[in-house]
Structure 1
Amino acid sequence: MKNTYIYTLATVAILAAGCGSKQEQQAPPPATPVNVAEAKLTPAAYYDKYQGKVVALNTVELRSQVPGFITNIFFKEGDIVKKGQPLYEIDRRKYLAAYQQAQANVVSARANLLRAQKDIDRYNMLLKNDAVARQTVDQATATYETARSQVAVAVAAQEAARTDLSYATITAPFTGRIGISQVRLGSQVTPGSTLLNTISAESPVAVEIVVNEQEIDRFYKLQQGSSDTTFRFQLANGTTYSKTGKLLTIDRGVDNQTGSVRVRVQFPNDSRELQDGMNGVLQVLNQNSGNRIQIPYKAITEQMGEFFVFVAKDSIALQRKVELGPRISDNIIITKGLEQGENVITEGFQRLRDSSKIMLGPPPAAAGAPQQGKPAGK
């Protein structure tokens, strides 16, 4: 009996030890220290960005319409030229001589017409008195009609000669900035093929962008009405142009190869700060701008292409799926999934799961880590 009693006590001790270990394993994990930030409703204006290029709304290449040699250049390269201002002169001598000859031909043709008119008037008077044959009158009438047509031909030739003479002096078709001359004094020019120079109107100008066909409806709506802050232009040096733009035109159709369409936004350019051909970024106000929920970007976690945050509810962390808007500095817009005033966990969420217990405060220092303000090992 004594041996049996001792065995029973040992068995009870082992069972008691096993129960104690199981109770320790089932103890709830400690609360995780976290930091939180409030989801705030703040005014948010953010812009979509498109690569753009400054284009002059009116640009023309100057080419001669008559052949000849350049005899005069009347402008300074790079200057603003006024509409109608003479720019180039092609040797005018033969065109002037042709015009003067055409003028003389008109005078001669009108003199012949006047003589033919007098002849027919005299023959008609004689015909009334049967003093001339009908055939003579008919011939005088034909001569008169021929003389009248010759006047018309001479006048047309005079107009053509006058036009050629005017083409010998090339003038500015509108007010704008002229570029570097492609020809010099004495250069020979060929009608329609020799490029003399290029003029571009400087104000207003347009910024041209290319947008995907899926965005066309958005720009059509902006064309019907947009605010003064809808379009801004960022220069290549990073500065933002001081004036805002307005949507000017959308191209007639979509490019079959790229599936895109060109859009032009007009900007005033009185200061001549924007130059034809400059590159930059056109900023278009996003339609989701306004009062939006913002939280620190560091509170976001990503899982399989979806985005989540942990929301602190009393002493529990609840995982919440959210939809993101644009990032603004260290914050990010939340378009769906959060309400104003909710607290999102910004630090310590790496150790959390849905419905984990939390406590506010910084995470505890790791075991063996040096105390703050003291170097390690001391």
Structure 2
Amino acid sequence: MYSNPIHYFTAVLSIVLLASCDKKEEQKATQQAPPAVAVTLEEVTTTDAVYYDEYPASITPINQVELRPQVTGFITGVHFQDGARVKKGQLLYSIDAQLYSANYEQAVANLKVQEANVNKAQKDADRYHELDKNDAVAKQLVDNADAALEVAKKQAEAAKANISAVSTSVRYTKVYAPFDGVIGISLVKPGAAVSAGQTLLNTVSTDGQLAVDFGVDQKEIYRFATLLKNRASKDSTFTLAFGPDIYPYPGKIQLLDRAVDPQTGTIKTRLIFPNPDNLLRAGMTGTVRVLNRASTKSVVIPYKAVTEQLGEFFVYVAGDSSKVSQRRIVVGQPLGTKIIVKEGLKEGEKIAVEGVQNLREGALIKTDK
């Protein structure tokens, strides 16, 4: 039998077409595969470098009191200069005392009346008791006289308590400095009406020493607790920076707060800094620098090897198959052109330091060397 030439030609053509398609797909796949990225690798090293850990901080007075009146009235005197230094017990404000003085005088007069009533009731009771000895008076009258005496005594005690209350109000018409410190700008002027416990007159705060508060991660509590235990030593462990400027006096750690803030995972730490030149002011913000003398070696890498994404830091680590993997790290303090890595890398690993901007997870690499 003879084969149909048309069928034969069709079969051959199909084979050729299939082979051609496979070759094109292979070429296409080859063309789509990303080329290897040229990078420079560097081995991760460690160092014993001494550096400073930095923490944002706020400056606050050790003692600070808001002055508010304890009586209602009108300001009759302001007895200081705004921003001046004041001494404990110094008169600061006067409030109109006429009403309170009149109340005091009335209370004194009322006490005298009550004392007179006590004297009369005592004499009546004594007289009735003498008559009772001779059965010359009804027992009920004797009891009534004793009761009247007790009432008179209670009223006299109430009058004395009232004198104490109104005399306190008289004293409260004068506002005194609670301690040595600096007073701010007065918020009221003579003639202003003030309400007891509500109107803010001024604020007094200490400034010879100031507190510096900052948050410490709970992982570092042991370290700072140790520093607190050894706080008697005088050195430059704690310094304060304002931008490039370093405050000239070192501070001392005073306390760690009672508990860790569950929302932030940090604990408030307080330092005390001397302020002999009045360079520090309450409300300032700065940077606390804590000298780190950790005995363990620190991992150090070039800063240019680090990429940042959404507040997290990454490096590309070279694997055994000429590919890189992206790894998250926790960075520490910069050391010139390098930076300390607290977590995420080990000594001896190789990371990309050049060509980083062209890398992605799993990218094929080739080294320049």
TM-score, normalised to structure 1, is 0.66
Q: Secondary structure at the match of 2:245?
A: coil
Q: Which sections of structure 1, spanning at least 5 residues, go unmatched?
A: 1-38, 309-323, 339-350, 354-378
Larger Rg computed on CA atoms:
1
How far residue 188 of structure 1 moved from its aligned partner, in angstroms, is 0.8
Are positions 1:305 and 2:310 aligned together?
A: no
| SS of match in other structure, 2:239 | strand
CA distance in 2, matches of 1:298, 1:193: 58
Cα distance in 2 for partners of 1:307, 1:298 equals 13
Q: Does 1:133 align with 2:143?
A: no
Map Cα deviations across residues 198-234 of structure 1 (whole Å, 9 max, x no partner): 1111132110112333333332232222443221112
Find the counterpart in structure 2 of residue 29 from structure 1.
none
Which residue of 41, 58, 66 maps to 2:63? 58
CA contact (8 A) 2:241 2:289 kept: yes
Letter of the structure 2 residue corresponding to residue 218 of structure 1: R
1:288 aligns with 2:298: no
Counterpart of 1:267 in structure 2 is: 273
1:231 pairs, out of 234, 238, 256, with 238
Q: Residues of 1 paired with 2:134 and 2:227: CA distance? A: 85
**How has the CA–CA distance of structure 1 residues 257 and 337 changed in structure 2, closer, same or farther, with 3 Å as cutoff?**
closer
**Residues 299 and 71 from structure 1, CA distance in 2 versus in 1: closer, same or farther, beyond 3 angstroms?**
closer
Q: Deviations over 1:319-358 (max 9, x none)?
A: xxxxx985545788899869xxxxxxxxxxxx986xxxxx
Q: Tell me if structure 2 keeps the 8 A contact 1:177–1:200.
A: yes
Structure 2 contact 303–339 (Cα < 8 Å) conserved: no
Are 1:258 and 2:268 an aligned pair?
no
Task: Tell me the TM-score normalised to structure 2 length.
Answer: 0.67
Contact 1:246 1:267 in 2 (8 A): yes
The alpha-carbon deviation at position 294 of structure 1 amounts to 12
Q: Secondary structure at the match of 1:288?
A: coil
Change (3 A) 1:289 1:265: farther
Specify every segment of 5 or more residues in structure 2 that has no aligned partner in the other structure, as ranges.
Answer: 1-44, 308-313, 319-330, 349-366
Alignment RMSD, CA only? 3.5
Shift of 1:190: 1.7
SS, match of residue 66 in structure 1: coil
Which deviations, in whole Å up to 9, do the C-alpha atoms of 1:47-95 show, x marking residues without a partner? 1111111101111111112111111111111011111211111111000
Summarize the Cα distance change of 1:132–1:299 in structure 2 as closer, same or farther, 3 Å threshold: closer
Aligned partner of 1:220 in structure 2 is 225
Residue 217 to residue 103, structure 1, CA distance change in 2 (3 Å): same
CA-CA distance at 1:108 after TM superposition: 1.7
- 2:92 maps to which residue? 87
Task: Decide whether the 8 Å contact of 1:46 with 1:289 is kept in 2.
Answer: no
Percent sequence identity is 42
Q: What pairs up with 1:154-233 in 2 under 5 angstroms?
A: 154-226=159-231, 227-228=233-234, 229-233=236-240
**Match of 2:267, as an amino acid?**
V
- Cα deviation 1:104-163 (Å, max 9, x = unaligned): 112221221122222222322232223333222211111110011001110111111011
Alignment of 1:22-101 (within 5 A): 45-101=50-106
Q: Distance in 2 between matches of 1:251 and 1:293?
A: 29
The verdict on how the C-alpha distance between 1:155 and 1:146 changes in structure 2, with shifts beyond 3 A counting, is: same
In the other structure, the counterpart of 2:250 is 244
SS of residue matched to 2:201:
strand
Q: How many residues align?
A: 286
Q: Tell me how far 1:257 sits from its aligned partner.
A: 3.1
User: Residue 275 of structure 1: SS of its match in structure 2?
Assistant: coil
**Segment of structure 1 superposing worse, 177-186 or 328-337:** 328-337
Q: Which amino acid aligns with 2:223?
A: R
How far 1:171 sits from its partner (Å)?
1.2
> For the Cα contact (< 8 Å) 2:76–2:190, is it kept in 1?
yes
Q: For residues 122 and 302 of structure 1, what CA distance do their matches in structure 2 show?
A: 104
| Separation of aligned partners in 2, 1:143 and 1:255 | 63
* Residue identity matched to 2:290: V
250-259 vs 94-103, which moves further: 250-259
Q: In 2 relative to 1, CA 302–149 (structure 1 residues): closer, same or farther, beyond 3 Å?
A: closer
Q: How far 1:240 sits from its partner (Å)?
A: 2.1
